[in-house]
Structure 1
Amino acid sequence: MKALLVDDHALFRSGLMLLLAARFPEVTMCEADGLTAALAHLSAQPDIELVLLDLGLRDSQGLPTLRQLRAVSDELTIVVLSASDDVETMIAALNEGAAGFIPKTTRGQAVEQALRVVLGGGIYLPPAVYRAVAPLPELTQSDEDRSEEAIDRLGLSPRQVDVLRLLTAGQSNKVICRELDLAESTIKTHLLGLFRKLGVGSRTEAVVAAARIGLKFPNA
């Protein structure tokens, strides 16, 4: 796998590059100091699959940066790195298609764990975000059985599982329609069913709830 770190603080970028090289030797890392450089990397290296993105770049600020990178490819997995630990910002980033949100105050071991969650097909958010949605029943099975148990207990249909898998990957309704070859009205019906079974009221809360109970989906 090839990954791109986008951050305009050279010291932070160097430290994180060293950490990632040590903990993820299978990942080929490259770096950019701003949005312009990041877009150039993605154009020259279309095989980049993972982007670690600081939202506070000198040449681009906030969620519009995330939107521009998402527009490059539906296949990109983007994890936000931010000095902010504001829950609303975290949820907004997820709603824009981020696969995770890691505050810059997070320690090295926790950063590693967060990225392993994402690389394993999951969504990583700090515990504060999980508290933003209603608690779901705790599961007791081993990690390898957790997704299957959760699906059974929630009564999710195979199609609802497909929709949730794409939802947790940050895909829009349009992309989900294309991937599953279904009409948008059908996707909306499946989403409403998912919201009801998960006890949530939005796409963002559905993804947070899925992450909280340990649902993971293999990367395509």
Structure 2
Amino acid sequence: MIDTGIRHLLEGSCYAVAGMVHDVAALPNPCPGAEPDLFIIAGGNCGEQTLETVRLLRTRHSSARIAVIADHFDLAFVRLGHAAGVHGFCLSGSSRDVLIKSLELISLGEEILPPVVMTSLLNGSEAASAPKSFDGLAFSGNSSEAHKKAKLSPREAEVLRHLMEGAANKVIARELDVAEVTVKVHVKTILRKIGAANRTQAAMWASAHLPGREGLAGRRQGLSVSG
């Protein structure tokens, strides 16, 4: 149904659908014919799988633009998605004209955010827009209280901020001038302290609870869609 809906959405627009795939790992690299200008990802529950899909597309097709379409977005996922390489977040409930115009703007180099996320950013209501849960990970409504309860050390908090940016252990080790095995130990400890099952859940927790760094020191050549 998602494939049919996207094809129907783009009928008569400036886009030509180059293909549909449900497993981005199966996408040919390079793509046959012209390189796609835009990838549309059906976000589903906007979880870890969506972020992994985005990272893989950015690695294989660095010049292409990426849009995620979903029923809703929260501020924490938008931050992680942007860090992973998403250029636009579109709501599936928007009108056809709005969706197509949003895709056109993304293709032209603009960054698109849903109105509810933009409102949260303008009002500074970051805590209110944070998800109550993500893949089974519960969040507290009080960020500072949750941070204290987790009892993260300053170094663990710094590692967690790097996880929030999607950095690999090797990159974190280089940034902090420590051994990679030390970073692995910190990550394992962080996951245990905050009750996260994986790095993506930890990053989502950090987006909701850690203060920012400043508070601490013609016709497109093709379109591929990943489900």
- Give the structure-2-normalised TM-score: 0.47
Structure having greater relative contact order (Cα 8 Å, sep ≥ 6): 2
Question: Which of these two proteins has the greater Rg computed from alpha carbons?
Answer: 2
- Give the structure-1-normalised TM-score: 0.49
